[in-house]
């Protein structure tokens, strides 16, 4: 007879998606289990760049500073290069990830967080430690076998302990599939996938090689290495060298020639020979740590949950794409952040189960968008390859095209112009702030009644962030302070923490009273249901953000309980109010009058706004209650 464990939440997969979901759920006081068929956290670097949108999510639980302290920063990652070899001729470079002086202001205005390069080998242990210290048991070497749904709505999952060779079952309220690109949960749930033909294969070779004496003026996060005048082996059309640990560990990513076969299988010494040639020093000591392959996919799920909404998937399980733009783990973390507060509110009786349908409604369009964008980046790189002669059919033709770059003929000029345009178009990949931050939602958890059509987006929504307070948008970031200046705080830090927030200004005191009254009304109407469900969680919640990262935040922020509730936290911003708009940025970004308001969800998404108080045709209490009930599915 199989042993059965009964818990509320079971997560399959312990990568960035599964572990970040466990962190967010655990921070709200929810209990559960994460299992993975792997033997440990990631043993190869895999995803590495955390963008501001994802870091803002981790900021909500105080993990942003820890990630930043373990990661690599501006001096080492701000450049992307195209070169013949690591120590040889350089074709071009761009300043990336918002460090370009022409873009720095855009990035700083969009978020209080900075991008950081932190490989999965370092990120996952940070997430694992937080999750395991906040109500989640995490077990490795456990394989997902399958699940069955009970009439009660519970899910009974069969798992296999690979260490003991024994099966056991877990009965849970919800099952989450965060089991990656080969997701068995997605497969059993029958979630329909939209798949374009695979665009080829890539080979990751992780190498220990000390290049500290070689890269002083050649530092960067990515180095696109192309040697048009060399006869390449079939596994190596071009190579991308990625910094892992400065400066003695690197990933060499080989892209085989289009249509080439990897038969017979290349041997490690063949890879090592090409790696040394790409470094530019055939005598340098180097050791291969691992070799792995991955497909260049373009796949996304049409929906992220089953009909009953008790089997929900996220991360690479539902969006699979190449790593261009660094959107992979970032999107996984944002999936989890969107989902976690909704699960918490439903389990604690604060919202209707119908709220869960908004997860797929909001995140699936984002997943589709990032899959398409990541696959658009490769053709942009192809333009650079073409200019350098890499697409020519023979070695002789490649050499000729490569030499043309030096000439003074019309063809030489055309080829140099092609290279210039190709590098310029790569800005979409390496400074794509828009694709990272322009993620807006439309669902029943966003109140759009009375809203006009969306304002015109920027001319290039991949490159540029469109700051807006329209419901469904992320809360705009602005630095605030007290009348007597102390530590600055972002509007981002005033929101989140498991609660709804309401932002207003001078003349908006009516909203503060309305928020108190609505909170009391909703709490009273849900009454016994909330008390009954909350009994199981008393004393289990991380009542404050447990991180040194928060030590500089004001006590009124640090001491807030993260237990989800129907209390709406109200902040007034303006002259001699709760917070001062010291840089006058908030007044430009809020898009409401002083006495208007913004209602912000626990995931820092704007749920509703009132432009000015006189726009309200009924009492503030009634309109705010109607909005809250709609969002929580309590109508």
pLDDT at 219: 94
**Which pLDDT value is given to residue 539?**
39
299-301, strands of its sheet edge to edge: 193-195, 299-301, 319-320
> ∠ at Cα 509 (503, 510), nearest 5°?
100
Same domain as 368, residue 449? no
Give dist(CA 326, CA 321) in Å, integer: 10
In eight-state DSSP terms, residue 211 is -
User: Alpha-carbon distance 112 to 104, whole Å?
Assistant: 12
Euclidean distance between CA atoms 620 and 618, whole angstroms: 6
Choosing from 340, 373, 406, the residue where a domain stops is 373
The DSSP secondary-structure symbol of 91 reads E
Domain membership flag for residue 275? yes
- The residue segments making up the domain with residue 261 are 75-113+200-295+388-429
In this predicted structure, what is the pLDDT of residue 258? 78
With tokens 């009439």, the residue in question is 151
Task: Please tell me the predicted confidence (pLDDT) of residue 264.
Answer: 87
Tell whether 54 and 187 lie within a shared domain.
Answer: yes
Residue 624 maps to a domain: yes
Q: What angle do CA 607, 68, 64 make, to 5 degrees?
A: 30
Does the residue 381 lie in any domain?
Answer: no
The SS3 call for residue 204 is strand
- What per-residue confidence (pLDDT) applies to 530? 60
Contacts of 164 (CB under 8 A, 6+ apart): none
Q: Are residues 465 and 487 in the same domain?
A: yes
Pick out the chain residues at pLDDT < 70.
1-2, 528-560, 617
Residues 135 and 172 in one domain: yes
Q: Are residues 550 and 488 in the same domain?
A: yes
Cross-strand pairs, 609: 598
User: What is the structure's pLDDT at 260?
Assistant: 81
pLDDT of residue 549: 44
Query: What domain count does the chain have?
Result: 3
Kindly report the pTM of this predicted structure.
Answer: 0.95
* Main-chain dihedrals φ then ψ at residue 136, nearest 5 degrees: -115, 125
Q: Does residue 18 lie in a domain region?
A: yes
Question: Cα(25)–Cα(178) distance, rounded to whole angstroms?
Answer: 14
Q: Where are the beta strands (DSSP E) in 450-595?
A: 479-480, 489-490, 500-504, 568-572
Query: What is the model's pLDDT at position 545?
Result: 44
CATH number of the CATH domain containing 287: 3.30.9.10
Within this chain, do residues 400 and 512 fall inside the same structural domain, yes or no? no
Helix, strand, or coil (residue 397)? helix
| Residues 286 and 320 occupy one common structural domain | no
Residue 383 lies in a domain: no
CA–CA dist 239, 165 (Å, integer)? 41
* Judgement on whether residues 529 and 621 belong to the same structural domain of the protein: yes
> What CATH code is carried by the domain that includes residue 496?
3.40.30.120
Alpha-carbon span 191 to 205, nearest angstrom: 33
Q: Is the Cα dihedral 609, 614, 615, 621 positive or negative?
A: positive
Distances (CA, A) of 78 to 91, 218, 270: 17, 11, 31
Asked, for residue 31, whether it belongs to a domain, the answer is yes
Residue 186 lies in a domain: yes
What pLDDT is recorded for position 552? 56
Buried b (16+ CB within 10 A) or exposed e, 238-250: bbbbbbbebbebb
**Which structure tokens are listed for 455?**
């304002």
Q: Are residues 9 and 127 in the same domain?
A: yes
Residues 491 and 620 in one domain: yes
> CA 334, CA 570: separation in Å to the nearest integer?
25
Residue 147 lies in a domain: yes
457 and 532 assigned to the same domain? yes
Q: H or E segment at 251?
A: strand 249-255
Q: Is the domain of 105 the same as that of 123? A: no
């Amino acid at each position: 007879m199989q042993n059965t464990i009964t818990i509320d939440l079971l997560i399959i997969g312990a990568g960035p998606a599964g572990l970040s979901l466990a962190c967010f759920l655990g921070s709200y006081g929810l209990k559960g289990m994460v299992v993975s068929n792997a033997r440990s956290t990631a043993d190869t670097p895999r995803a590495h760049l955390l963008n501001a949108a994802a870091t803002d999510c981790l900021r909500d639980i105080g993990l942003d500073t820890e990630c930043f302290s373990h990661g690599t920063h501006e001096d080492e990652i701000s450049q992307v290069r195209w070169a013949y070899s690591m120590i040889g001729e350089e074709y071009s470079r761009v300043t990336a990830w918002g460090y370009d002086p022409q873009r720095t202001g855009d990035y700083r205005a969009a978020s209080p967080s900075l991008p950081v390069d932190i490989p999965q080998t370092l990120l996952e242990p940070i997430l694992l430690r937080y999750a395991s210290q906040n109500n989640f048991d995490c077990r490795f070497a456990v394989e997902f076998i399958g699940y069955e749904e009970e009439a009660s709505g519970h899910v009974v999952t069969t798992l296999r302990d690979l260490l003991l060779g024994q099966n056991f079952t877990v009965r849970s309220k919800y099952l989450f599939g965060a089991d990656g690109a080969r997701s068995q949960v997605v497969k059993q749930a029958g979630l329909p996938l939209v798949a374009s033909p695979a665009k080829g294969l890539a080979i990751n070779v992780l190498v220990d090689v000390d290049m500290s004496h070689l890269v002083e003026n050649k530092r960067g996060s990515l180095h696109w290495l192309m040697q048009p005048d060399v006869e390449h082996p079939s596994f190596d059309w071009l190579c991308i060298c990625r910094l892992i640990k400065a400066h003695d560990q690197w990933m060499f990513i080989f892209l085989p020639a289009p249509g080439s076969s990897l038969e017979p299988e290349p041997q490690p010494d063949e890879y090592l020979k090409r790696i040394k040639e790409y470094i530019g020093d055939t005598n340098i000591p180097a050791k291969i740590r691992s070799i792995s392959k991955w497909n260049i996919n373009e796949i996304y799920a049409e929906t992220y949950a089953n009909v009953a909404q008790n089997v929900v998937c996220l991360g690479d399980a539902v969006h699979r794409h190449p790593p261009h733009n660094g959107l992979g783990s970032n999107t996984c973390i944002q999936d989890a952040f969107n989902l976690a507060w909704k699960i918490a509110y439903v389990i604690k009786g604060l919202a209707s189960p119908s709220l869960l349908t908004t997860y797929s409604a909001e995140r699936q369009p984002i997943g589709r968008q990032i899959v398409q964008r990541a696959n658009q980046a490769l053709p942009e790189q192809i333009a650079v390859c073409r200019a350098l002669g890499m697409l020519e059919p023979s070695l002789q033709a490649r050499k000729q095209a490569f030499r043309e770059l030096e000439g003074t003929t019309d063809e030489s000029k055309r080829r140099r112009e092609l290279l210039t345009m190709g590098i310029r178009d790569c800005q979409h990949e390496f400074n794509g702030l828009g694709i990272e931050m322009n993620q807006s939602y439309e669902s029943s958890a966003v109140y759009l009644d009375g809203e006009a059509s969306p304002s015109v987006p920027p001319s290039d929504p991949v490159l540029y962030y469109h700051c807006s307070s329209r419901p469904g948008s992320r809360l705009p970031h602005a630095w605030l302070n007290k009348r007597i200046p102390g530590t600055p705080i972002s509007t981002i830090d005033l929101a989140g923490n498991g609660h709804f927030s309401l932002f207003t200004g001078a003349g908006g005191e009516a909203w503060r009273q309305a928020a108190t009254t609505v909170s009391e009304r909703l709490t009273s109407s849900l009454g016994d249901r909330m008390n009954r469900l909350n009994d199981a969680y008393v004393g289990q919640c991380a009542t404050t953000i447990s991180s040194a990262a928060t030590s500089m935040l004001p006590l009124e922020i640090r001491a807030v309980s993260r237990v989800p509730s129907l209390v709406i936290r109200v902040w007034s911003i303006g002259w001699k109010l709760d917070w001062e708009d010291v840089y006058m940025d908030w007044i430009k970004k809020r898009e409401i009058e002083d006495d208007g308001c913004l209602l912000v969800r626990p995931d820092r998404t704007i749920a509703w706004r009132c432009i000015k108080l006189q726009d309200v045709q009924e009492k503030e209490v009634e309109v705010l209650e109607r909005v809250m009930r709609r969002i929580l599915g309590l109508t």
